[in-house]
């Protein structure tokens, strides 16, 4: 008999420890209702379960996202409903004004109401927000501050910020270059054609004769110069805006042959000049400053950008675009400027687009010169109330002005237009995360909406003809609003389906995750009861094993 090593008790103790550990596991699982409480319970099962949990929680959150998308669309739809109410009212007033039973004072009163309604359109489109995000003009494209289109490339401090062209300008000082439809003085094309004239003389004769560009100090309108066999009679008949004369024509004779030959070179000024140039008349303008090429922006940044103008003199429906490209166009003028020109007509808009190829421009001033040269090459483009000008002292700044003295009715936008309104850069959209994984996004294209896009900014009810045109403009505006509202309605329906799908997917994944992670309570209770019985039996056997050594004490009695 031994007492040092009680092997029976040791064996029972070891078995009891295992049972206690199993019983603790049973207790933990029953208290949490999970089969897997730590990685050691089921390593692979835990990994699968946690992945499913991420999916389930993502789907539940994305379901809420879809509801927020629905709310955004509903806010936009409600605002556009109010815009439709306003447009319908303007249409009624236009129909009323189109009847000659109205007096002049009646139509003025109708115009007052229309002006206020148009102001409210601007208020709604600028101020309607969802969670501080502008519904009709998001924060990255600030329509009100013109931080869009060409403004984003050049910088807002390089683009005139007012909607109406009301920057005062006059052409009294020297150095102005103008486009125009009623030329009174040399302008935009003169410097270019003068250089070509001098180049042509040298290429044709190789004479080395120096043609004096400026007139004699005496003020004479002609001068004569001779080099070798060549004699040039230079005429100065074009009047500059500051009153000085410009080179007009060169008659070159060659005495090396008999009889002497003569050839005439004209410094044509094309369609240069504008009404009132050289007078004290004040005009109103907007402007773009292309300063900073290669520093603040690259030439390629201009491609696809542009600007447009419109004026009340055209009843608001004629728009003139200048669009920039780096690709070859279908026309090249005498100055070597590559461009194209097209006009689009509809019942509500006449869109004239001058596309200018800027590839190869080395300076900001050259950009302005190409725009002016291309404009002067198209009569349809320059035969308009909005003209262009720049001054030699500040050649990177292009002015756009209304050639009707004192008129501030014209509009300017730093982006081109088509028949559907402003053409803005991509990215005016809201991405709604509608799935549990990355890139599962549905995009809401924010409706670009303001009075200008709806064509309401230049409505005029003061004459029967203009009132009739206003009816057509209102119909056009209603078409735009109905199209945008239909789009918003379709997005609401799409989000509703996405919401239902997310909930269904979440429910099915929850079922799958439950099979892996959740505890079978009945089965675990059986195991728990079994381990309890074994524990009690082991404790009893441990007691018996310990008491079996009591006989050793009898040997000492």
Express each pLDDT in 283-326 by its tens digit.
Answer: 899 999 999 999 999 999 999 999 999 877 766 568 899 999 99
- What DSSP letter does each residue of 448-480 carry, written as one string? P--TTTTT-TT---SSHHHHHHHHHHHHHHHHH
The pLDDT tens digits of the residues spanning 174-232 come to 678 888 654 333 334 455 456 667 777 777 666 678 888 777 776 677 888 888 888 88
**Burial class of residue 96, CB neighbours in 10 A (0-12, 13-18, 19+):** middle
12-23 mean pLDDT:
82
Residue 412 neighbours by CB under 8 Å, 6+ apart: 160, 162, 163, 164, 165, 286, 307, 308, 309, 400
**Burial class of residue 87, CB neighbours in 10 A (0-12, 13-18, 19+):** buried
Please give the Cα distance from 417 to 331 (Å, whole number). Answer: 22
The least confident of 31-40, 109-118, 390-399, 421-430 is 421-430
Tokens of 191: 């410097």
Q: State the pLDDT at residue 40.
A: 79
Q: State the pLDDT at residue 492.
A: 95
Please say if the pLDDT value at position 387 is more than 80: yes
The least confident of 67-71, 144-148, 247-251, 442-446 is 144-148
Residue found by looking up tokens 């539940």 in the block: 60
3-state SS class at 520? coil
Q: State the pLDDT at residue 243.
A: 46
Q: State the pLDDT at residue 18.
A: 83
Please say if the pLDDT value at position 340 is more than 90: yes
Residue 269's pLDDT band, with cuts at 50, 70 and 90, is very low
Tokens of 42: 């089921």
- The secondary structure of residue 3, as a DSSP letter, is S
Q: State the pLDDT at residue 79.
A: 95
Tokens of 453: 């896009």
Q: DSSP H helical segments within 131-222, as ranges?
A: 150-154, 190-205
3-state SS class at 106? helix
Q: State the pLDDT at residue 527.
A: 84
The pLDDT tens digits of the residues spanning 419-448 come to 767 776 544 678 888 888 887 888 888 887
Evaluate the omega torsion of the peptide bond into residue 21 and state whether it is cis, within 30 degrees of 0: no
Please give the Cα distance from 268 to 247 (Å, whole number). Answer: 10
Q: Is the separation of the CB atoms in 154 and 297 below 8 Å?
A: yes
User: Considering the chain, what is the average pLDDT of its residues?
Assistant: 82
Tokens of 456: 């309401």
Residue 68's nearest CA partner among 130, 137, 140 is 130
Q: State the pLDDT at residue 273.
A: 37
Q: How far is CA 545 from CA 5, 20, 532, 538, in A?
A: 12, 19, 20, 10
Please give the Cα distance from 436 to 502 (Å, whole number). Answer: 9
Q: Is the dihedral of CA 157, 162, 164, 169 positive or negative?
A: negative
Q: Is the separation of the CB atoms in 269 and 187 below 8 Å?
A: yes
**Burial class of residue 459, CB neighbours in 10 A (0-12, 13-18, 19+):** buried
**pLDDT, greater one: 289 or 555:** 289
Q: State the pLDDT at residue 187.
A: 39
The least confident of 83-92, 152-161, 264-273 is 264-273
**Burial class of residue 501, CB neighbours in 10 A (0-12, 13-18, 19+):** middle
Tokens of 209: 């004769």
Q: State the pLDDT at residue 275.
A: 36
Q: Is the separation of the CB atoms in 375 and 353 below 8 Å?
A: no
**How many CA atoms within 13 Å lie on the side-chain side of 273?**
19
Please give the Cα distance from 311 to 315 (Å, whole number). Answer: 7
Please say if the pLDDT value at position 521 is more than 90: no
Q: State the pLDDT at residue 329.
A: 96
Tokens of 541: 């056997």
Please say if the pLDDT value at position 242 is more than 50: no
Please say if the pLDDT value at position 364 is more than 90: yes
Q: Within 10 A of 256 (CB to CB), how many other CB atoms are there?
A: 9
Q: State the pLDDT at residue 246.
A: 66
Strands 318-325 and 350-357: parallel
Q: State the pLDDT at residue 313.
A: 74
The least confident of 55-59, 181-185, 210-214, 491-495 is 181-185
Residue 405's nearest CA partner among 109, 168, 137, 151 is 168
**pLDDT, greater one: 510 or 557:** 510
Please give the Cα distance from 61 to 354 (Å, whole number). Answer: 49
Please give the Cα distance from 344 to 346 (Å, whole number). Answer: 7
Please give the Cα distance from 81 to 482 (Å, whole number). Answer: 9
Q: State the pLDDT at residue 215.
A: 74
45-69 mean pLDDT:
88
The pLDDT tens digits of the residues spanning 443-488 come to 888 887 888 778 887 788 988 888 988 998 899 899 989 999 999 9
Q: Is the separation of the CB atoms in 290 and 364 below 8 Å?
A: yes
């Amino acid at each position: 008999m031994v007492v040092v090593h009680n092997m029976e008790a040791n064996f029972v103790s070891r078995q009891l420890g295992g049972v206690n550990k199993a019983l603790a596991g049973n207790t933990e699982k029953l208290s949490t209702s999970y089969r897997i409480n730590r990685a050691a319970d089921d390593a692979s099962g835990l990994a699968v379960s946690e992945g499913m949990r991420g999916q389930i929680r993502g789907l539940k959150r994305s379901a809420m996202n879809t509801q927020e998308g629905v709310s955004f669309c509903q806010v936009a739809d409600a605002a556009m409903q109010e815009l439709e109410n306003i447009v319908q009212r303007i249409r009624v007033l236009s129909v009323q004004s189109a009847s000659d039973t109205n007096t002049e004072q009646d139509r003025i009163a109708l115009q007052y109401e229309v002006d206020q309604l148009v102001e409210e359109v601007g208020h709604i489109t600028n101020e309607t927000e969802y969670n501080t995000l502008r519904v009709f003009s998001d924060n990255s494209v600030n329509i009100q501050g013109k931080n869009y289109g060409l403004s984003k490339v050049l910088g807002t401090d390089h683009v005139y910020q007012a909607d109406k062209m009301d920057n005062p300008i006059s052409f009294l000082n020297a150095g102005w270059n103008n486009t125009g439809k009623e030329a009174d003085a040399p302008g935009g094309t003169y410097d270019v054609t003068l250089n070509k004239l001098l180049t042509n003389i040298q290429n044709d004769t190789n004479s080395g004769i120096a043609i004096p560009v400026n007139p004699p100090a005496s003020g004479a309108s002609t001068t004569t110069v001779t080099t070798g066999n060549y004699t040039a009679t230079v005429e100065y008949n074009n009047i500059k805006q500051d009153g000085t004369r410009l080179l007009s024509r060169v008659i070159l004779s060659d005495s090396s042959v008999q009889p002497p030959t003569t050839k005439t070179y004209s410094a044509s000024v094309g369609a240069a000049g504008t009404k009132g140039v050289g007078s004290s008349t004040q005009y109103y303008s907007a402007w773009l400053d292309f300063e900073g090429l290669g520093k603040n922006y690259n030439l390629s940044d201009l491609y696809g950008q542009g600007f447009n103008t419109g004026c009340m003199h055209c009843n608001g429906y004629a728009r003139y675009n200048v669009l920039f490209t780096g690709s070859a166009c279908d026309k090249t003028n005498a100055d070597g400027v590559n461009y194209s020109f097209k006009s689009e007509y509809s019942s509500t808009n006449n869109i004239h687009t001058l596309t200018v190829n800027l590839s190869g421009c080395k300076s900001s001033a050259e950009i302005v010169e190409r725009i002016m040269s291309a404009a002067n090459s198209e009569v349809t483009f320059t035969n308009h109330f909005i003209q262009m000008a720049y001054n030699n002292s500040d050649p990177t700044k292009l002015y756009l002005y209304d050639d009707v003295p004192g008129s501030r009715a014209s509009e300017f936008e730093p982006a081109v237009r088509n028949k559907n309104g402003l053409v803005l850069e991509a990215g005016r959209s809201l991405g709604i995360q509608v799935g549990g994984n990355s890139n599962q996004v549905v995009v809401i294209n924010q409706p670009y909406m303001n009075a200008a896009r709806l064509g309401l900014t230049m409505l005029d009810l003061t004459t029967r003809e203009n009132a009739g045109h206003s009816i057509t403009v209102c119909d056009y505006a209603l078409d735009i609003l109905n199209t945008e509202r239909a789009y918003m309605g379709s997005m609401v329906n799409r989000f509703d389906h996405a919401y239902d799908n997310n909930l269904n997917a979440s429910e099915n994944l929850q079922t799958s995750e439950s099979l892996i992670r959740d505890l079978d309570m009945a089965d675990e209770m059986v195991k728990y009861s079994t381990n309890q019985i074994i524990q009690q039996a082991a404790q009893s056997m441990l007691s018996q094993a310990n008491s079996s050594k009591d006989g050793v004490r009898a040997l000492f009695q």
